Amino acid sequence: MRGEQIFAGLVVGLLLGMFGYLPLVLLWQHFADVPQPQLYPNRSFTSFGPNPPPLTYWISWAAPAAVFVLLGLMTIPSRTGRQFTWPLVLAFLPVAAMVAWFWISMELFFSPD
């Protein structure tokens, strides 16, 4: 039974990271009315210029991931929960980080020239 729980946690974590994290962030940004960052010109990867994205923009990306980590930490007392949620969290975080990196880079630095 232990192997199936670990495998299920990994699969669910990968799927949540790939298909659930971005919608959560976008919903957070919409309902919290987070201002969207401006587009920065080409070759400006080293500096955000005079008008960097607001702190609420970065919080909207970090908070959903922090919720998943907190939920994983809450399962420490339960052996059954630990066998499912720790693999879920460990699979979710790298995938969510890649999704965030890709989306943020497209929002901040992509220009169609």
| Burial track 71-106 (b if 16+ CB lie within 10 A, e otherwise) | ebeebeeeeebebbbbbbbebbbebbeebbeeebee
DSSP 8-class letter at 36:
P
CB neighbour list of residue 88: distance below 8 Å, 6 or more residues apart: 9, 10, 12, 13, 16, 68, 72
Residue-by-residue pLDDT tens, the chain, 113 positions: 688 989 999 999 999 999 999 999 999 999 999 988 877 665 555 556 667 788 999 999 999 999 888 888 888 788 778 888 889 999 999 999 999 999 988 887 775 55
pLDDT score of 52 = 78
Q: Is 80 helix (H, G, I), strand (E, B) or coil?
A: helix
Q: Is the pTM of this model over 0.85?
A: no
Alpha helices by DSSP H, the chain: 2-15, 21-31, 55-74, 79-109
